[in-house]
A and B are shown apart, each in its own frame.
Chain A
Amino acid sequence: NAGVMQNPRHLVRRRGQEARLRCSPMKGHSHVYWYRQLPEEGLKFMVYLQKENIIDESGMPKERFSAEFPKEGPSILRIQQVVRGDSAAYFCASSATSGGDRNEQFFGPGTRLTVL
């Protein structure tokens, strides 16, 4: 049973370019979360999605960032017009349900974004 997959693992972009980060949840999981970890800082929640719906985007920057989780295919975190401050590790996690006693989130290996 494959875990959460993220690609690419490393992404280099120049200022002003677009970055697209992909996340394939674990089989059977329909809930996806994105977190960001800036250098030498803790993990910060960005957005929580179910299939075709954004449930909680309270951690998303108001501009340039968007996320989607289409009916088919992986979840995508999109960063437009990247700036150096976007350089970070972006982690995706998935879970089977949003409720109940067992709601562990399983994390992917992350995408390291470097903005030159």
Chain B
Amino acid sequence: DAKTTQPPSMDCAEGRAANLPCNHSTISGNEYVYWYRQIHSQGPQYIIHGLKNNETNEMASLIITEDRKSSTLILPHATLRDTAVYYCIVREATWGKLQFGAGTQVVVTP
């Protein structure tokens, strides 16, 4: 049973920021929000994760609402190589498995 809800698809213009929403209204206090992406036919790639605070790394930024019921992944300057399925996953950091939902198919266009 999915713990997250994401839009099935979205388009983004190359060079613009891509804002990917995720709802996780049943998240518990010890669960993290993880983001992975899967470029066509490749293995998934870790992007970023967070618990309460906003996070930023070289790939993206993660904005988590104060009530933690939703979050947004931001790709600051989308490129054509960012075209992929993006997965928002809620999990306890101490537990191994990742439960992938359907994700959001992001298409970056020139």
A residues near B (Cβ < 8 Å) are 4, 31, 33, 35, 42-45, 48, 55-56, 58-59, 89, 91, 93, 95, 98-101, 103-110
- Is A48 a contact partner of B46 (Cβ separation < 8 A)? no
Mask: chain B, 18-30; 1 = CB below 8 Å from A; 0 = not = 0000000000000
CB distance from A19 to the nearest CB of B (A): 19
Interface size in chain B (residues, C-beta < 8 A): 21
Task: Give Cα A69–Cα B41 distance, bound, in whole angstroms.
Answer: 25
The interface-forming segment of B58-66, B67-75, B98-106 is: B98-106
| Contact surface of B with A, Cβ cutoff 8 Å | 38, 41-46, 49, 51, 87, 93-103
Q: Which residues from chain B contact A110 at a C-beta distance below 8 Å?
A: 41-43
Does the CB pair B45–A107 fall under 8 Å? yes
Which residue on chain A has the smallest CB distance to residue B34?
A104
Taking a contact as CB atoms under 8 Å apart, the answer to whether A91 and B100 are in contact is no
| A20-B102 Cα distance, complex, nearest whole Å | 28
Provided the pairs A42-B101, A42-B103 are in contact, do residues A104 and B46 lie with their beta carbons within 8 angstroms? yes
